[in-house]
Amino acid sequence: MEKSYTEMEQNFLQFYKQIEAYEEAAGLIGWDLRTKAPKKGVAQRTETLSFLAQKVHELSTSDEMKNYIDQLRNSDNKIIKASIDECEKEYNKSRKIPINEFTEYVQLTSTAESVWEEARENNDFETFRPYLEKIVDFNIRFAEYWGYKDNRYDALLDNYEPGVTVETLDKVFPELRNNLTNLLDKVNQSEDKPDPNLILSHFPKDQQEKFSLKVLEQMGYDFDAGRLDETVHPFATGLNPNDVRVTTRYDEQDFRMAVFGTIHEGGHALYEQGFDPELYRTPVCNATSMGIHESQSLFWENFVGRSKAFWDKNYDLFLEHAPESFKNIDKNQFYRSINEVKPGFIRIEADEMTYALHIMIRYELEKGLINQEIEVKDLPELWNQKMKDYLGIEPKNDSDGVLQDVHWSSGGFGYFPSYALGYMYGAQLEQSMRKTLDLEEVIHSGDLSPIKNWLNDNIHRHGSMKQPLNLLQDVTGEGLNPEYLVKYLDQKYNKIYNW
């Protein structure tokens, strides 16, 4: 590959390898902290993470980096040009944050994640509150450093979804919310509802894991370039394209948590295992946005994993691992039960129809915090009220409410909208995929490689060479359109609930 680069370009890539090395080390420590690290090791690990982050910050904002940006800004090599654009954006943003504030922030968020875990376990928001207040203050300050045109929250959105603004979300989300609540009304009025109790039976963790591993294998996940582990809050992490790890969470009384969570995180992992090798060890060997990333996980989890065709093919395999109590459940009853629509407290357990409503609640609270319209101390009450307004239910404790997500503890403000955007992106991609693939036939065959190959060709291989909305336009022929998601949900659940 190096033969296609000039000497200056090769020097730049060698320089970037230093940044990549520190980031990979930090990623490995982050994975360990969330999976296997002993509690007493957290403090020193936090210091190590801070050191690594500081090194990345120094290199990303160095005079040497600025020299490469100036020299290669107009490179004829498209990969170098895109890489320099990424580095220049990061350079400009990072230079605006004083190094002492950046270091303090890294230490704060590294510690806060462990505090959040304990607070959630003990249903103790007040323990976590002072950490969250500091994190919010830092994000407000960072947004001011970076600058924005219309809304302070836009500066944070840009970190996860370049090109998407509050103006876009405030137009799309209310429209989607109205359609979802209308569909939810139809579900509630149906007299032919599935019975969820059919599938709520003890299912040993080791057997759930065996089935989940077989599903990952079926999806095309490369186990020579990854692994499956257990964690409190499921995630996937790409240390590099040849080391992309998946985690899941097991509930022995409800297998859906692990099975669909594993498929979801597997979708993320396939994206990062699917980057074009020409992009390896460059700044564009990354997902183009978290929304596009979520489109992949939600596509696999919902459009594939929750489909009738998937269970027509895999139900017998499932029964090989399931306890005896599952063996008398009719396959159609099973399919309807796993697709039950019922507003619940936990986002990662939410059904397809209510999932995006969870995201809108978080988005509105985040936006309010960053624009200083609400305060952290009021979050539990505001959270519960929005749950009641949007989903018709109210959490009995903060562990099932405001403390349930890890994102705020790690400073991920601006991230949550990507989940709903990803769901809409995924529905659009499904419609485009259907132009060349008979999805039901492919899924029913058990050979999912045509789906993986289509996603590799159209999404994965590009890394961040294209902006998210440009990529969506190239693949689907149009911009963001929530109608595809509404149509998908309407058609699917009309058959399940017979309205």
**Interatomic CA distance for residues 47 and 41, integer angstroms:** 10
Output helix, strand, coil percentages for the chain, rounded to the nearest 5. 70, 5, 30
What are the strands of the beta sheet with 228-230, ordered from one edge? 228-230, 243-248, 236-240
Q: What is the DSSP letter of 299?
A: I
DSSP state of 377: G
Beta bridge partners of 336: none
Task: Give the DSSP letter string of 42-108.
Answer: HHHHHHHHHHHHHHHHHHHTSHHHHHHHHHHTT-SSHHHHHHHHHHHHHHHHHHTS-HHHHHHHHHH
The CA distance from 162 to 465, in Å, is: 13
Q: How many whole angstroms separate alpha carbon 364 and alpha carbon 91?
A: 30
CA distance 332 to 446: 18
Tell me whether residue 86 is one of the annotated catalytic residues: no
Catalytic residue, chosen from 20, 161, 265, 340, is 265
Assess contact for 123 and 399: CB atoms under 8 A.
yes
Task: Please identify which residue in the block is written with the tokens 């399931």.
Answer: 322
d(CA 247, CA 219): 16
The angle subtended at Cα 18 by Cα 457 and Cα 163, nearest 5°, is 45
The per-residue DSSP string of 146-209 comes to H--SS-HHHHHHHHHSTT--HHHHHHHHHHHHHHHHHHHHHHHH-S----GGGG-S---HHHHH
Residues 279-290 as b or e (16 or more Cβ within 10 Å = b): beebbbbbbbbb
Spatial separation of the C-alpha atoms in residues 472 and 481, rounded to whole Å = 10
The answer to the question of whether 294 is labelled as a binding residue is yes
Token pair 């599935």: residue: 194
Q: How many other C-beta atoms are found inside a 10 Å radius of the C-beta of residue 219?
A: 20
Task: Please report, to the nearest 10 degrees, the dihedral formed by the alpha carbons of residues 152, 156, 159, 162 taken in order.
Answer: -40
> Is 407 assigned a ligand-binding role in the annotation?
no
Relative orientation angle of helices 483-497 and 417-433, to the nearest 10 degrees: 80
User: Which residues are part of the catalytic machinery?
Assistant: 265
Q: Please state the residue numbers annotated as binding site.
A: 264, 268, 294
Q: Please state the residue numbers annotated as binding site for Zn(2+).
A: 264, 268, 294
